[in-house]
Homo-oligomer: A and B are copies of this chain.
């Protein structure tokens, strides 16, 4: 550790073996990032309690297992996102306690922590095909210590389905609105509630939905304010952002 190197320099000053000017020079060349690292580390510790996250997509089964292995000692909870059944089969052979949130494509190792706040994140979807992305968001938020309510298939094609659940929406602290196609869900819910809305555009749809572009643009152009948007199909990102908002005051 460079910490020792730093100590050694300070010791030399203390002992009078080195002038302040020489120490200044040494410190200027001393890799600041090590000190910086400590500082950044506090930042990291602020987030302590959050699960470690492994993006499984594009990794081999062997790599995924190895990373779980290396993280298992120092972490209570590890999740692997965008995981396949095949990924899970490899993991569970080595960690029989691992569980698979199939719809959400998340492998979980370790227990979901008790919720750190009573504030609620509500995850809503326009249709049933948006559920995988919504579940990815919901599980992410839960493993980060949030209470999550799911309201699926309440899209604007039948607006009464959303209105019927207005009290649930009103009681939410953050809402994640997952929708493909025209993505109107996010605008409409944002016009109904007072809490922040995270738009989660999905690639659900066909033709001129252009793999989620349609929903993405719609959510970015919402005529109702109080909404911000994550990447297409990025359930993890939506769940993480919602959690960061929801846990404010809890952590810092």
Contact = CB atoms under 8 A, between A and B. Distances in A.
B37 A164 contact: yes
A234 B206 contact: yes
Interface string A233-252: 11011101100110011011
Nearest to A47: B194
Copies of this protein chain in the complex: 8
A204 interface: yes
Given A225-B241, A231-B221, A232-B207, A32 B29 contact: no
A244 B246 CA distance: 12
Interface residues of A, number: 110
A170 B29 CA distance: 12
A249 B223 CA distance: 25
Interface string A192-223: 11111011010111111111111111111111
Interface string A36-47: 111110010011
A159 interface: yes
A206 to B, nearest CB: 6
Contacts of A231: 206-209, 220-221
B6 A36 contact: no
A29 B252 CA distance: 17
A71 interface: no
Given A14-B20, A232-B207, A182 B187 contact: yes
Nearest to A191: B157
B216 A248 contact: no
Interface stretch (A91-99, A106-114, A124-132): A124-132
Among A10, A31, A37, residue most surrounded by chain B Cβ atoms (within 10 Å)? A10
B208 A216 contact: yes
Contacts of A80: none
A60 to B, nearest CB: 11
Given A43-B193, A217-B218, A228-B241, 14 more contacts: A10-B10, A27-B35, A28-B38, A28-B39, A37-B164, A180-B221, A182-B217, A182-B223, A183-B221, A184-B218, A196-B245, A196-B248, A215-B221, A225-B237
